[in-house]
Amino acid sequence: MGFWWRFNLLVFTIAILSTPVLSDLILSKVDRRIDLTSQIVRITSTLKVENAGSGLVSEVLLAFPELQAKNLVYLMATTNEGKGKTKSSGVSLPVEVANPKGMPPALTVYSVSLPKALGEGDTMSLDVLAVFTHTLKPFPEKITQADIQLVLFQDSAYYLSPYAVKFQSLSIKLPDARIESYTKIENTKIHGSEIKYGPYENLPPFSYSPLVVHFEINQPFAVAQELVREIEVSHWGNVQVTEHCNIVHEGAKSEGEFSRLEYQARPHIRGSSAIRHFVAKLPPRAHSIYYRDEIGNISTSHLWADSKKTELLIEPRYPMFGGWRTAFIIGYSLPLQDFLFESEGKRFLNISFASPINDLVIDNLVVKVVLPEGSRDLSVSTPFPVKQRQESKISHLDVVGRPVIVLEKADVVPEHNQYFQIHYSFNKLSMLREPFMLISGFFFLFVACIVYVHVDLSISKSSASYLAKLQWDEVRATIQQVESIINQCLATHEKIEASLRDLSRIGDVQACKTTRKTADGLLKEHSKELKPLLAFLQSSPAAANILPKVEELVAKERELQERWMAKHSIIVDCYEKKLGGREIENRVAPQQQKVVALRQEVEDLLEYIDEI
């Protein structure tokens, strides 16, 4: 690696020799701070730009060597309008790739458009934040469980710029751990875990002095090779977010044995570089949180929630050593009113772009926003350029599918975790469509049932079985009539019985007799009514097997009737003769027994016929 770096340097030197000065800008002061405490390298440079020439200058060029440029994932320049140390974070300036003529090919140049052109002698202060991923190279590349993880970082000790730099300094912040080696040039100081280079003064454009730091870092190198976020908006009050993470530990590869014993006994020595957990900062009021992978729930997670934030600590199924992979899904629901707003008759969703997991580098992020079915006029506004396309997804009870906006972006770091907006219009009535569909579905099901029960589905109206069925229906109707008549007779008997009871209580013989008379009349009527019905049953062939029962029933009923009458006359007789209670009992007893037995039989028969 060292050799390759030197070769690169050679290219640069050639480039430097052959390049003219681009413009009359000079950087009067450059202050660089490199943060190496995590796998994401953040270089913050404060530039004081001065126009030493005569013309107006409206853009400042920032140069990065190609090696760095291909890992540059985020670049932001802000101006500090406020003078001096009062750092009111200023306006961020548009930055774009520039290809000015005469630049060395090994440099990638970005141009920052200034808010107002700098006149002669004007100065301006710029803050540039550049974020790089995959720049810390593990060295050695493979370590065992017992080894510590060492990485190399390379940069230039001088600020690489197309402009002359008057005064510059550089400080490198390292994690609190061992520093294996670092390049020592003039004015190098080490102060705890911070290395300071500079100040250097009056360096020409494209000055370059290679700088290598080799140090221990035990921060996780968690890289999500692909992360798919699905944000599903439901107007019933819920935003469901599902994140499919596919994570690899991109630190030094682990080789040799993995001993759980060593790991459990001395976790911070044997396995210091392993990823133990991730922390995800979810929005406040997130609920229904789950953490699982394709083979089920993962039980190692903790959740802390308060009104400001919801913090989810998730442990992978196993500690992740260098080169190990894992995949999991986290999902959570958010209250709709926190993220969906309405303006000018349109709705817009305002939600953060990147994953809530801390310190995660995402190589390829896909954000899918699923809007409710029936959303129209979709438009997206994002704070940085992303690839977008549209597809549709069919979910619960959908007919045409829900519109899905797919946003894709490579190389995403926490700095990208900004809000983006999706505007769309939606008719409120569409919300009621799915409940209506369900209701109508059940409605038609029941209607179909009713229709099925009531419609005669027999194929032939003249077939023997159909006719038999019709006949049988008739027979049944007749039998029912017979039954009802018998029941009426039984009711009459009850009346007689009641009158007898009254008699025993009050002794009103006359009333009893009148009851008897009316009962007689009723019973006669009933037997008259019965005759045609029985005649019909006898004539009908379908009733052949039930006829004996019916006839038995009628006969039994008649007998019962007679017994009642007999009993009644005996009792009335007795009363008229003013006989004692015991005497009456004795006389009635045989009748009474018969009555009870007959009545039971009649009831049994009725029940039996009922069944048919």
Indicate the residue among 151 and 247 with the shorter CB distance to another protein.
247
Question: Under a CB-based contact definition with an 8 Å cutoff, are residues 117 and 56 in contact?
Answer: yes
Kindly indicate which of the ranges 19-27, 67-75, 158-166, 253-261 contains the residues binding another protein, using the contact rule CB under 8 A. Answer: 253-261
Contact 551, 530 (CB under 8 A): no
Token code pair at residue 550: 């019916």
> Total residues at the site for another protein (CB under 8 A)?
48
Q: Which helix H or strand E contains 102, and what residues bound it? A: none
Nearer to another protein, 342 or 494 (CB): 494
- Return the number of the residue (17 or 457) whose C-beta is nearest another protein: 457
* Residue number with CB closer to another protein (379 or 487): 487
Binding mask 382-411 for another protein (x = CB under 8 A): ------------xxxxxx------------
| Cβ-based nearer residue to another protein, 122 or 293 | 293
Here's the x/- map for another protein, 451-490, by CB under 8 A: it reads as ------------------------------------x--x
DSSP conformational letter for 578 = T
Asked if residue 511 binds another protein (CB under 8 A), the reply is no
The b-or-e profile of 518-552 (16+ CB within 10 A means b, else e) is ebeeebeebbeebeebbebbeebebbeebbeebee
| CB of 600 closer than 8 Å to CB of 569 | no
Residue with tokens 């083979």: 295
Residue closer to another protein (CB basis): 90 or 323: 323
Q: Are 142 and 59 in contact (CB under 8 A)?
A: no
**467 phi and psi angles, rounded to 5 deg:** -60, -40
612 binds another protein (CB under 8 A): yes
Q: Which residue has the tokens 């007919």?
A: 399
| Site for another protein contains 267 (CB under 8 A) | no
CB atoms within 10 A of CB 269: 12
Please state, as a whole number, how many other Cβ atoms lie within 10 Å of the Cβ of residue 91: 10
Tokens of residue 207, six digits: 């000055």
Instruction: Please report whether residue 256 would count as binding another protein according to CB under 8 A.
Output: yes
Residue from 24, 122, 226, 601 that binds another protein (CB under 8 A)?
601
Site for another protein in 286-305 (CB under 8 A): 293, 295-300
Backbone phi, psi, residue 380, to 5°: -120, 140
| Minimum gap (Å) between residue 372 Cβ and another protein | 14
Between residues 439 and 612, which has the closer beta carbon with respect to another protein?
612
Give whichever of 180 and 502 is closer to another protein, judged by the CB atom: 502
**Of the two residues 400 and 455, which places its CB atom closer to another protein in the complex?**
400
Residue 166 or 495: which CB sits closer to another protein? 495
In the complex with another protein, the residue whose CB is nearer, 66 or 604, is 604
Closest CB 398 distance from another protein, rounded Å: 5
Candidates 339-347, 358-366, 492-500, 574-582; binding stretch for another protein (CB under 8 A):
492-500
Give strand ranges (E) for 133-221: 137-138, 142-143, 150-156, 164-173, 179-182, 188-191, 194-203, 210-216
If one asks whether residue 226 binds another protein (CB under 8 A), the answer comes out as no
Q: Nearest distance from residue 274's CB to another protein, in Å? A: 13
The residue within the footprint of another protein, chosen from 4, 236, 446, 608 (CB under 8 A), is: 608
Whether residue 149 contacts residue 178, with contact meaning beta carbons closer than 8 Å, is answered with no
- Site for another protein contains 147 (CB under 8 A): no
Note the residue count of the chain.
Answer: 612
> From CA 251, how far away is CA 323, in angstroms rounded?
7
Region near another protein per CB under 8 A, out of 378-386, 407-415, 496-504, 520-528: 496-504
Of 194 and 604, the one with the shorter C-beta distance to another protein is 604
CB of residue 252 to another protein, shortest distance in Å: 16
The phi, psi pair for 556, rounded to 5°, reads -60, -40
585 binds another protein (CB under 8 A): no
Window 188-217: contact mask with another protein (x via CB under 8 A): ------------------------------
Residue 597 Ramachandran class (φ > 0 left, ψ -120 to 50 alpha, else beta): alpha
Task: Please tell me the distance from the alpha carbon of residue 568 to that of residue 571, in angstroms, as a whole number.
Answer: 5
Q: Binding to another protein by residue 505, rule CB under 8 A?
A: no
Scan residues 71-90 and list those touching another protein (CB under 8 A): none
Local structure of 119: helix, strand or coil: coil
The answer to whether 575 contacts another protein (rule: CB under 8 A) is: no
Per-residue mark of binding to another protein, 410-449 (x: CB under 8 A): ----------------------------------------
| Nearer to another protein among residue 210 and residue 323 (C-beta) | 323
Yes or no: say if 322 and 273 are a contact pair by the CB < 8 Å rule.
yes
Does 605 contact another protein by CB under 8 A? yes
What would the two tokens of residue 130 be?
């550049």
Interface residue with another protein among 545, 577, 581, 582 (CB under 8 A) is 545
Strands 222-234 and 361-370: parallel
Sheet holding 361-370, edge to edge: 296-297, 287-293, 325-335, 238-249, 222-234, 361-370, 402-412, 387-393
CB-wise, 491 or 509, nearer to another protein? 491
Contact present, 609 and 549 (Cβ < 8 Å): yes
- Residue 400 vs 429, nearer CB to another protein: 400
Residues 303-342 that bind another protein (CB under 8 A): 317-318, 323-327
Which parts of 344-384 are beta strand (E)? 346-352, 361-370, 376-381
How many CB atoms lie under 10 A from the CB of residue 370?
Answer: 23
Q: Does 144 bind another protein (CB under 8 A)?
A: no
Nearest to 404 by CA among 233, 541, 609: 233
| 430 three-state secondary structure | helix
Q: Which residues bind another protein (CB under 8 A)?
A: 256-261, 265, 293, 295-300, 317-318, 323-327, 394-399, 487, 490-491, 494-495, 497-498, 501, 545, 549, 592, 600-601, 603-605, 607-608, 610-612
